[in-house]
Structure 1
């Protein structure tokens, strides 16, 4: 009953998928035989402790949220006098490590290595990583970019979706980003425009550019799975020598701040950070002097991919109109 109402609410497809999975795996197997009146604060607290011990704090918090929503519905129908989830113990989690940026030299080594590694090339990672460095997008956002979202003449890319995998339905493009602020128009640096122009010529997208993504699955075509892509990136990064040290990628390469602090892109940046950590600060000076003055597209294509580290990154040039965002 509760999930039927949740499906009619404004929850995103990804959230509904997460809640359904939590309901089927964490709640129903343990509590399906209980009556509503048997649901007490102590019982919920003990169950959440078990979930946290077996599956971690994040899953325990999701389980608490689903249970609380179910109990809230029961309270509205007078089946419960109060919500037993409100007084359970606080679910603590280990503090997340602050993402650290790649240095300029690390970017040079990484991009050059990817362009020369046959396995990474076969997995279409060099261009994708370059695009992430140019824009600071989340992986799912980058994989949702269609050719119709890219204006190579204006040098902009319109960000308004993300790729998700659902248990029923497979891969889809959710027509909104993680937050409203994520729906924006970014201006691309010249080397990214040159790379995308070459990609477009090689891909020869169909006349229906609304369904043709710029970074499709390397073998089957169509939408590319963000989780599989992240795993491929981690494997390549480890092979390249970026194996989990504080200044390397594998532990958090999917985090948008990781790329943003590296290239000084349009997403949020820390107010103050050490110069050797925030390499994007050095690159951002080139933006202020002239956004596309770093080098011409021809120079970007003639030089090795390591030259990407010397070039300015993207910047936000606008937000999508409200009517457009809702469509």
Structure 2
């Protein structure tokens, strides 16, 4: 029968021999992390000191150690760098998501943990950090910080630098109550009027706006697409020969750090690629845009800058914000149009149809974040409850 191996991290009997300069050497056999038995020794002026020094060496070897670039004594800053490099190595994230993760790590998380070694990051420290962020900043910031912190510390666990991920033991973040708000038809018209009249007419220097912002709004209202998805529509994605006209949502515009703005060949998620039929007011805009690029190739963008490069989402947002501020209209962002589309379709065709239009895999997301709650109960209830009305003969008594 095979003799059982000595467990990893254990040592045998300690022996002593004389060393140079009157020192005593204590030595033993130690089974290392790789399963191999090695001789370990330490010296001291006396047997007791040599044994104490040997046990200190063994304690350092048997402490929870890293098998890679990280150890319990590594700084959190070192972990952040290794984690970001690991994201690049896996190359599974869209560039925009990778940039968002790095921004959240450097701006939200690192300032709080850069002074700690990994072994010093406890559940209580993480819990206080997340609660403080949610209270002093916002739930959204706390949630984003929690995501990147958990991912980074998860990598530390895989590198054997810490035994468990402290983020997983923290209290659940409680989202404050909120509800989606859609624009009314009157508000949409007010926005259209403000955009059409912005910086036009006498008194304004320089060339007038090129008209693309109002057209982008009409396409957002007719497709439910995100701003980046609208800016990524190409000539080949549009079919105005069918009735109704259709648009294929198959990409989005991204602006990676240090790289030029470009078209990503899929929307925010791979599953949200879709072809939508559009209303007549959107089809009219698309025909106008197609006429402007009639001689261009099929991959030419419908919307583009004066240099014929992709428009950035930030510039469009900034332009819309400037127009709304001058018009005194508050709370309007590109996502307002997406929520408006979701709400209008829900009222007419239900949440499932709205989710399909928006490219969601589940109507739960659409109902939770995009459809404005309808406080009006279906008036058919009045007819149903007529069955509870008092009988005529009873009323006469």
TM-score normalized with structure 2 length: 0.59
Which position in structure 2 is the counterpart of 1:133? 221
Where relative contact order (Cα < 8 A, 6+ residues apart) is larger, the structure is 1
CA drift at 1:215: 1.4
Equivalents in 2 of 1:102, 1:205: separation in Å?
Answer: 39
CA drift at 1:17: 0.7
Equivalents in 1 of 2:220, 2:136: separation in Å?
Answer: 34
1:19 aligns to 2:101 (yes or no)? yes
**Inter-CA distance 118–200: structure 2 relative to 1 (3 Å threshold):** farther
Query: 2:157·2:164 contact (CA, 8 Å) conserved in 1?
Result: yes
For 2:291, what is the secondary structure of its paired residue? helix
1:235 aligns to 2:322 (yes or no)? yes
CA drift at 1:274: 6.3
Query: 2:218·2:281 contact (CA, 8 Å) conserved in 1?
Result: no
Equivalents in 2 of 1:223, 1:189: separation in Å?
Answer: 25
Query: 2:226·2:335 contact (CA, 8 Å) conserved in 1?
Result: no
Q: Relative to structure 2, which stretch is displaced further, 33-42 or 22-31?
A: 22-31
**Inter-CA distance 72–203: structure 2 relative to 1 (3 Å threshold):** same
CA displacement 1:242-269 (0-9 Å, x = unmatched): x23xxxx626744522234357773367
Aligned residues: 266
Which position in structure 1 is the counterpart of 2:139? 57
TM-score normalized with structure 1 length: 0.70
For 1:65, what is the secondary structure of its paired residue? helix
Equivalents in 1 of 2:92, 2:147: separation in Å?
Answer: 16
User: 5+ residue gaps in structure 2?
Assistant: 1-81, 201-207, 349-353, 359-365, 377-397
**Inter-CA distance 113–206: structure 2 relative to 1 (3 Å threshold):** same
Which position in structure 1 is the counterpart of 2:20? none
Query: 1:101·1:259 contact (CA, 8 Å) conserved in 2?
Result: no
For 1:166, what is the secondary structure of its paired residue? coil
Q: Which of 291, 294, 302 is the aligned partner of 1:201?
A: 291
Query: 2:180·2:339 contact (CA, 8 Å) conserved in 1?
Result: no
Q: Which structure has the bigger radius of gyration?
A: 2
User: 5+ residue gaps in structure 1?
Assistant: 276-327
CA drift at 1:3: 2.0
CA drift at 1:143: 0.8
CA RMSD of aligned residues (A): 3.0
1:47 aligns to 2:129 (yes or no)? yes
**Inter-CA distance 54–228: structure 2 relative to 1 (3 Å threshold):** farther
CA drift at 1:126: 1.8
**Inter-CA distance 223–54: structure 2 relative to 1 (3 Å threshold):** farther
Q: Which of 187, 193, 196 is the aligned partner of 1:115?
A: 196
CA drift at 1:40: 0.9
**Correspondence 1:305-316 to 2 at 5 A:** none
Which position in structure 2 is the counterpart of 1:293? none
